[in-house]
């Protein structure tokens, strides 16, 4: 099953229009906001169609599925982002195949990624996942002190390039509440002592990208509004 590719082109155009409008409303440049197409569970044919429609960044959550797609699409020059929780026994596959990981949440994972990233590849770009306020079902550091401790450690690894933070706030349909949550997340980048290169904010999905952009998101992760509802 694939999304009709004419519909996919239309979906991408609509998403880009939303990004442009949200950026304009926030007095920001749309070019400063990276659109990541979340292609988990979607077939390679859809990824190729989205790439040819101008998408260069794709996000995946499941290691085995993602690596297979990376290999099948190796001719395209895609920037691959790993977004999901990562078990320590699967770090090598992410270190070998991805350009970004948004979900580093503990030192052990960072240590393994650093050790397993080839010296022949560019350093793996890293966002630290935050889980504030704490939700038991989600991963991530749960305080600014934890964020600072992990960021300081990651900053010192040669094969990792610390870039920012990622968050998945609790679902909410009210714009003001969405902005409040994203604003608190964005404020974490002002934590005293954080490495200055931590400027990226990976936050915002199909239902709340406008609020995220208003609060400073630099990367939005869009799945449903590009590819349609997920299926398994």
Q: How confident is the model at residue 1 (pLDDT cuts 50, 70, 90)?
A: very low
Output the six-digit token pair for 89: 């026994």
Output the six-digit token pair for 150: 């992990």
Report the alpha-carbon distance of residue 2 to residue 188 in Å, rounded.
Answer: 39
Dihedral sign computed on CA atoms, order 28, 29, 30, 35:
negative
User: Given this model, what pLDDT does residue 231 score?
Assistant: 52
Collect all residues with Cβ–Cβ distance below 8 Å to 55 and sequence separation of at least 6. 12, 35, 37, 226
- The tens digit of pLDDT for each residue in 82-137 reads 999 999 999 999 999 999 999 999 999 999 999 999 999 999 999 999 998 778 77
- The tens digit of pLDDT for each residue in 36-47 reads 999 999 999 999
Distances in Å between the Cα of 111 and the Cα atoms of 50, 91, 92, 126, 150 are 34, 10, 11, 12, 11
Of the listed ranges 5-9, 37-41, 155-159, the least confidently predicted one is 5-9
Mean pLDDT of all residues in 148-153: 96
Dihedral sign computed on CA atoms, order 41, 67, 33, 4:
negative
User: Given this model, what pLDDT does residue 232 score?
Assistant: 44
Which of 163, 76, 180 has the alpha carbon at shortest distance from 127? 163
Please list, residue by residue across 131-165, b when 16 or more beta carbons sit within 10 angstroms of its beta carbon and e when fewer do.
Answer: bbeeeeebbbbbebebbbebbebbbebebbbbbbb
Cα of first residue to Cα of last residue in the chain, in angstroms, is: 11
Q: Quote the pTM value.
A: 0.95
All structural domains of the chain: 5-227 (3.20.20.10)
- The tens digit of pLDDT for each residue in 181-213 reads 999 999 999 999 999 999 999 999 999 999 999
Q: How confident is the model at residue 2 (pLDDT cuts 50, 70, 90)?
A: low
Indicate the helix (H) or strand (E) that contains 50.
Answer: helix 44-52
């Amino acid at each position: 099953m694939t999304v009709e590719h004419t519909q996919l082109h239309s979906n991408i155009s609509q998403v880009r229009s939303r990004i442009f409008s949200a950026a304009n409303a926030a007095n920001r440049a749309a070019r400063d906001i990276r659109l990541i197409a979340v292609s988990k569970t979607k077939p390679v044919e859809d990824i190729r169609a989205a790439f040819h429609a101008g998408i260069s960044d794709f996000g995946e959550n499941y290691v085995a599925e993602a690596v297979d797609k990376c290999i099948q699409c190796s001719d395209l020059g895609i920037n691959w982002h790993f977004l999901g929780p990562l078990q320590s026994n699967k770090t090598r596959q992410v270190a070998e195949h991805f350009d970004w990981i948004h979900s580093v949440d503990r030192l052990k994972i960072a240590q393994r990624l650093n050790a397993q990233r080839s010296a022949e590849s560019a350093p793996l770009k890293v966002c630290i996942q935050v889980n504030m306020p704490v939700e038991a079902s989600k991963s991530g550091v749960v305080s600014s002190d934890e964020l600072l401790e992990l960021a300081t450690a990651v900053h010192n690894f040669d094969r990792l390039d610390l870039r920012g933070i990622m968050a998945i706030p609790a679902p909410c349909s009210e714009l003001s509440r969405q902005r409040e949550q994203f604003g608190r997340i964005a404020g974490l980048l002002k934590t005293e002592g954080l490495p200055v290169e931590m400027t990226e904010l990976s936050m915002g999905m199909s239902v709340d990208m406008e609020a995220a952009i208003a609060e400073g998101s630099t990367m939005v992760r869009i799945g449903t509004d590009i590819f349609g509802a997920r299926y398994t």
